[in-house]
Amino acid sequence: MGSRKKVHAFVRVRPTDDFAHEMIKYRDDNKTIDIHLKKDTRRGVVNNQQTDWSFKLDRVLHDASQDLVYETVAKDVVSQALNGFNGTIMCYGQTGAGKTYTMTGATENYKHRGILPRALQQVFRMIEERPTHAITVRVSYLEIYNESLFDLLSTLPYVGPSATPMTIVENPQGVFIKGLSVHLTSQEEDAFSLLFEGETNRIIASHTMNKNSSRSHCIFTIYVEARSRTLSDEKYVTSKINLVDLAGSERLGKSRSEGRVLKEATYINKSLSFLEQAIIALGDQKRDHIPFRQCKLTHALKDSLGGNCNMVLVTNIYGEAAQLEETLSSLRFASRMKLVTTEPAINEKYDAERMVKNLEKELALLKQELAIHDSLANRTLVNYDPMDEIQIAEINSQVRRYLEGTLEEIDWAQLAQVQGVLSLCLPSQQEQEVESTLRRKYTLIDKNDYAAISAVQKAGLVDADGHLVGEPDGQGFGLGVAPFSIKPGKKSKSKKMFKEQLSSSARKEGASSPLSGKDLDVSTSKTQMILSSKDGDVKDMLVRDRETSNTEPLASDSPKEELRPPRPSTPPTKPVAFEDFKNERGSEINRIFKENKSILNERRKRASETTQRINAIKREIDMTKEALNLQKSLREKQGEYENKGLMIIDEEEFLLILKLKDLKKQYRTEHQDLCDLRAEVQYCQHLVDQCRHRLLTEFDIWYNESFFVPEDLQMALKPGGGIRPGMMPLNKIVSLGEDDQDRFGQLQQTMLPEGPDSVSFYNAKVKMEQKHNYVKTMMGLQQAHRK
Ligand code: ADP
Ligand code: MG
């Protein structure tokens, strides 16, 4: 490939009983022909006439069968054509030397068929051997006679050269004949029919126009286009094989042509000498201009002579002494042809449609990969579609509010997109600051930011109340009023840890309060009591959580799998698909998720109510303390009760002290309740987080499976799968037993002398003869009518 290659030139000698052994000698290398001419004694004593020539070619074919000729001359060219290389095979020589015999062969005898039918057979055999490729074959048959172009496969009745004249057109892809019919053939027999039709038309045309068929050039072209059946292969190859049966090469001087015949001979010589000029130019490396356009023959073959194609010349010669002069001239042409070098190259093309499809596929795969990364990094439902103006404005506003300090954190769901926008709206230092904050995992949405909430709600991340799904409700706890030792936002702590924290915080409170150790004990045991009383719910959730974990192999054997709708051509957006998922495979997880969420919300509500009560108690404590202080200062001013070291207080003050003690007790109880509730909220929170994560992970898997896994892989993955549509079931193959196949083969062999291979050849032939006979009858009728 890509390397320079010489044109292959062969000589085929027509068999004769009168072979000129004295004059034509072959050397042992099977390549060299030596010609010896006796001196013309009439030229006198001083005779400088050359008498010996030697021609070294690629092979001399003497007494060679059609089989051997095909193997030697054409086989490689044809097989290379299926790999995308153009090929040209030409037969050159004197009229009657065997060009047509070599190219077309005897149509009445299968064994004597020529290169053309054999090339068609090879093409179709090779297609059968390449099931991985979709290969199309087209053929055309052009005749050039007196510088006019004729379509030998025209389906229209032949009406002569004036009808729709064909033209030779050049474009970057090459040369083609405008107006020439090109016929798609899907099997050997069709191709043979076209060939025979062309041959018959050639004969009929020569009859009706009174033209000598040996004086025309005929170009049979096989166009091959091979595409890989694997869709991912964007490249495809095209090639054409030109099989050229040239007109007789005899020179004008010899045949005493007159009138019309002279005109023909002149033309033939002209076009053949232009062909020779083009060949000489091609053989001369210094020449950059090749005169292709001097005649129709070279113009039509412009991209098939030299250049990037495999080229072969067969020179047909007579073996008789009488034809030696023409033989010499033919051999000279052959050796000139051998000097031409070509640079065969594959004709590769790109399938734009496939390229687009593959890019789309790659995009989908990359998105899938991103989704996997996101779910691994706990960032589910990140949308990578381009953002609209509203989304961009929303992110800008979030960033601005964050920088101003009015927004605590930025919505992580849009993190990936924010990073893209940051560079547009922030100076670099701020950018870094914001980015580092963004990298922190979990965040809250500003409760006053309705636009953000509705955006996230759409994505399924926020519930109807506007709570970010499973997130602690920061505002509901009244953090500024009641002092808590447990800070919100710490996740994934075990229940035991919460218990420990609770009791230690209770102990701390107890130590700093004026209450006795007994009170402390009571409150601690009460904490445990509260926890165990709520254990029922918690256990319930735990069980459900475990159930969820056990639903892992939901994937393929779930009966819900069958309910999956047929895969649409364009996948739905994630929010839309998520709704479907929640009603389908994800329904169980979603139900558990919802239940846990409602338990969580209920606990939160209780916690919020408790907080309000605590705040009310605290206010009362403060008020009571104030009243007590007032009483104390009044008493101190009066100084009336300080007798004998005894502190005497009045009833009002005493009642206030009792009330304060009671309030403090209440405060403590409520506070313990709140701590318990908070522990529970955190625990529920954890479960809800887990459920949500699971829901989203399952969703991602489902989404990718449903819309992105290739169909054949899905089939293969299904139990009992592996048989693709279009595959033949095994029992069908088995049903045609070996005996049947043998009998079929024998039947064909007894019917046809050349075995089953010749079936299509003879079928096409019979059809053509029937048609030909019909044409003959019609012509006879016309003549009779004229008379
Ligand atoms: P061309 O096309 O060069 O004018 P043809 O192919 O028509 O010559 O050959 C002229 C005749 O010679 C035909 O009858 C053909 O059958 C016969 N012929 C030519 N070459 C061979 C060959 N190698 N073996 C048998 N017959 C041949
Ligand atoms: Mg011929």
Of 220 and 626, the structure prediction assigns the larger pLDDT to 220
Mutating to test ligand 1, I would choose from 12, 60, 62, 101 the residue with most ligand atoms within 8 A of its C-beta, which is 101
Residue 516, domain member (yes or no): no
Average pLDDT over residues 87-91: 96
Lowest mean pLDDT among 183-192, 206-215, 240-249, 537-546: 537-546
- Residues 207, 316, single domain; the answer is yes
Q: Tens digit of pLDDT for each residue in 105-116?
A: 987 789 999 999
Shared domain check, 268 and 129: yes
pLDDT band with cut points at 50, 70 and 90 for residue 731:
very low
In a domain, 764, yes or no: no
Please indicate whether residue 212 or residue 359 has the higher confidence score (pLDDT).
359
Measured from the Cβ of residue 20, the count of other Cβ atoms closer than 10 Å reads 18
In this structure, the answer to whether residues 341 and 400 fall within a common structural domain is no
User: Mean pLDDT score of the chain, rounded to an integer?
Assistant: 73
Cα angle value 300/301/302 (rounded, 5°): 95
432 and 305 within one domain: no
**Averaged pLDDT for residues 759-775:** 77
| Dist. CA 332 → ligand 1 center (Å) | 21
Q: Are residues 319 and 446 in the same domain?
A: no
pLDDT at 768 > cutoff 90 = no
| Confidence at residue 81, expressed as pLDDT on a 0 to 100 scale | 93
Q: Is the domain of 161 the same as that of 226?
A: yes
The atom number, within ligand 1, closest to the CA of 103 reads 6
The protein residue with its alpha carbon nearest to ligand 1, atom 11, reads 96
> 649 alpha carbon to ligand 1 midpoint, in Å?
146
Ligand number nearest CA of 105 is 1
Task: Assess if residue 164 is contained within a domain.
Answer: yes
Whether 380 and 689 have beta carbons less than 8 Å apart is answered as no
Structure tokens at 754: 């050349």
pLDDT of residue 411: 66
Which residues does the annotation place in the binding site for ATP? 93-100
User: Which span out of 222-226, 390-394, 497-501, 639-643 was modeled with the highest average pLDDT?
Assistant: 222-226
Chain centroid, CA 78 distance in Å: 30
Are the beta carbons of 116 and 195 closer than 8 angstroms?
yes
- Predicted pLDDT of residue 48: 67
Averaged over 582-592, what is the pLDDT?
84
Query: Is the predicted pLDDT of residue 513 greater than 60, yes or no?
Result: no
> 41 CA to middle of ligand 2, Å?
36
Whose alpha carbon is nearest atom 25 of ligand 1?
15
Which tokens is 393 given? 């404005």
162 pLDDT band, cuts 50/70/90, is very low
- Locate the ligand 1 atom nearest the alpha carbon of residue 13 and give its number: 23
For the segment 320-338, the average pLDDT, to the nearest whole number, is 92
In a shared domain, residues 174 and 321 = yes
Answer yes or no: do 297 and 400 share one domain: no
Contact 14, 320 (CB under 8 A): no
Question: 629 exposed, middle or buried (CB, 10 Å; 0-12, 13-18, 19+)?
Answer: exposed
Nearest CA to ligand 1 atom 19: 98
Work out the average pLDDT over 666-671: 89
- 14, 23, 327 from 35: Cα distances, Å: 16, 5, 9
SS (H, E, C) 51-64: CEEEEECCEEEECC
- For residue 330, the ligand closest to its alpha carbon is 1
Are 427 and 303 in a shared domain? Answer: no
CA distances from residue 512 to 505, 509, 520, 521 in whole angstroms, order as listed:
11, 5, 11, 15
Which of 10-24, 357-371, 738-752 comes out lowest in average pLDDT? 738-752
pLDDT average, residue stretch 47-57: 84
Give the atom of ligand 1 at the shortest distance from the alpha carbon of 95: 4
CATH code of the domain in which 650 resides: 1.10.287
Residues 6+ apart with CB under 8 A from 677: 603, 606, 607, 610
270, part of any domain: yes
How many angstroms is it from 269 CA to the middle of ligand 1? 21
Q: Is 405 helix (H, G, I), strand (E, B) or coil?
A: coil
Atom 10 of ligand 1, nearest CA residue:
96
In angstroms, rounded to a whole number, what is the distance separating the alpha carbons of residues 65 and 431? 84
The closest-lying atom of ligand 1 relative to the alpha carbon of residue 97 is 3
pLDDT at 207: 66
Instruction: Tell which one of 12, 13, 14, 245 to mutate to probe ligand 1, the residue whose CB is within 8 A of the most ligand atoms.
Output: 14
At 10 the three-state DSSP class reads: strand
* Widest pairwise Cα distance in the chain: 178
How would DSSP label each residue in 28-47? Answer: TTSSEEEEE----GGG-SS-
Residue 487 DSSP class: P
Among the residue ranges 10-24, 464-478, 665-679, 688-702, the one predicted with the least confidence is 464-478
Where is 748: in which H helix or E strand?
helix 738-751
- What is the C-alpha to C-alpha distance for residues 56 and 338, in angstroms, rounded to an integer? 9
Q: Which of 229-238, 612-621, 754-763 has the highest mean pLDDT?
A: 612-621
**Minimum mean pLDDT range among 369-383, 395-409, 552-566:** 552-566
Closest-lying ligand to the alpha carbon of 206?
Answer: 2
Confidence of residue 9 (pLDDT cuts 50, 70, 90): very high
For residue 525, which amino acid is it? S
pLDDT in the model for residue 709: 58
pLDDT of the residue at 773: 72
CATH number for position 201? 3.40.850.10
Mean pLDDT, to the nearest integer, of 701-729? 54
Closest CA to 254 of 355, 344, 329, 359: 329
Alpha-carbon distance of 134 to 139, in angstroms, equals 17
Residues 345 and 413 in one domain: no
Per-residue pLDDT at 754 exceeds 80: no
Domain C-terminal end among 684, 709, 734:
709
Of all protein residues, the one whose alpha carbon is nearest to atom 5 of ligand 1 is: 98
Confidence check: pLDDT of 258 > 70: no
Tell me the CA–centroid distance for residue 161 and ligand 2, in Å. 21
Highest mean pLDDT among 74-83, 420-429, 463-472: 74-83
- The residue among 432, 461, 490 that closes a domain is 461
- Check residue 480 and give its pLDDT: 35
How many A from CA of 87 to the centre of ligand 1?
Answer: 24
Give the residue whose CA is nearest to atom 22 of ligand 1.
Answer: 14
Residue 126: is its pLDDT beyond 90?
yes
The DSSP code sequence of 54-119 is: EEE-SEEEES--HHHHHHHHTHHHHHHHTTTB-EEEEEEESTTSSHHHHHTB-TT-GGGB-HHHHH
Q: Locate the ligand 1 atom nearest the alpha carbon of residue 106 and give its number.
A: 16
Strands (E), 395-490: none
Do the bridges between strand 59-62 and strand 174-178 make them parallel or antiparallel, or are there none, so unpaired? unpaired
pLDDT of residue 701: 82
pLDDT per residue over 339-355, tens digit each? 888 888 888 888 787 78
For 178, the 3-state DSSP assignment is: strand
How far is 104 from 90, CA to CA, in rounded Å? 12
Ligand nearest to the Cα of 199, by number: 2
Which residues have a beta carbon within 5 Å of ligand 2, which is an ion?
99-100, 214
Q: Angle at the Cα of 26 (from 22 to 31), degrees rounded to 5?
A: 155
Residues 6+ apart with CB under 8 A from 418: 395, 398, 399, 410, 438
What is the number of the ligand closest to the CA of 101?
1
Q: Select from 424, 445, 461 the last residue of a domain.
A: 461
Q: How far is CA 7 from CA 77, 282, 334, 339, in A?
A: 11, 11, 10, 7
Ligand 1 atom closest to Cα of 316?
A: 3
Tell the residue nearest (CA) to atom 20 of ligand 1.
98
What is the rounded average pLDDT of the residues 279-285?
83
**What does the alpha-carbon distance between residue 42 and residue 387 come to, in Å, rounded to a whole number?**
100
Q: How far is the CA of 100 from the centre of ligand 1 (A)?
A: 7
Q: What is the mean pLDDT of residues 504-528?
A: 39
Number of domains in the chain: 3
* Residues near ligand 1 (Cβ within 6 A): 14-15, 93, 95-101, 214, 248, 316
* Domain coverage including residue 649: 571-709
245 φ, ψ (degrees, to nearest 5): -105, 100
pLDDT of residue 35: 93
Ligand 1 centroid from CA 458, angstroms: 84
In a domain, 295, yes or no: yes
Using one digit for the tens of pLDDT, what is the confidence trace for 14-47?
999 999 999 999 999 999 999 998 766 665 656 6
Domain annotation covers residue 59? yes
Q: Please check whether residue 607 lies inside any domain of the structure.
A: yes
Match 């209920």 to its residue by tokens: 602
Same domain, 342 and 447: no
Q: What pLDDT does 30 receive?
A: 93
Q: Which of 145-149, 393-397, 435-439, 742-746 reaches the highest mean pLDDT? A: 145-149
Distance from C-alpha of 522 to C-alpha of 529, rounded to nearest angstrom: 10
Query: How far, in Å, CA of 587 to CA of 575, rounded?
Result: 16
Binding residues, as ranges, are: 93-100
Q: Is residue 761 part of a domain?
A: no
Residue 600 has pLDDT above 70, yes or no: yes
pLDDT at 89: 97
Ligand 1 atom closest to Cα of residue 93: 3
Cα separations in angstroms, 362 against 166, 218, 296, 369, 487: 46, 49, 49, 10, 46
The mean pLDDT of 243-263, rounded to a whole number, is 70
pLDDT the model gives residue 388 = 75
Distance 768 CA to ligand 1 centre (A): 22
Looking at the CA of 111, which ligand is closest? 1
Atom of ligand 1 nearest to the CA of 12: 23
Q: Is the same domain home to 328 and 446?
A: no
Structure tokens at 286: 């210094």
- Shortest-distance atom of ligand 1 to CA 94: 3
For ligand 1, atom 16, which residue shows the shortest CA distance?
A: 101
766 Cα–ligand 2 center, Å: 23
The label of the residue with tokens 């113009």 reads 299
Q: Name the residue among 7, 89, 92, 8 with its Cα closest to residue 272.
A: 92
Per-residue pLDDT for 58 more than 60?
yes
Strands 646-647 and 642-643: antiparallel
pLDDT over 70, % of the chain: 63
Residue 175 forms beta bridges with which residues?
A: 170
Least confident of 133-142, 190-199, 676-685: 676-685
Ligand 1 center–CA 106 separation, angstroms: 9
pLDDT at site 785: 64
Task: Please give the residue that has the higher pLDDT: either 480 or 107.
Answer: 107
647 phi, psi to nearest 5 deg: -95, 110
Does residue 443 contact residue 409 with C-beta atoms inside 8 Å?
Answer: yes
- pLDDT value at position 259? 58
CA distance 511 to 86: 98
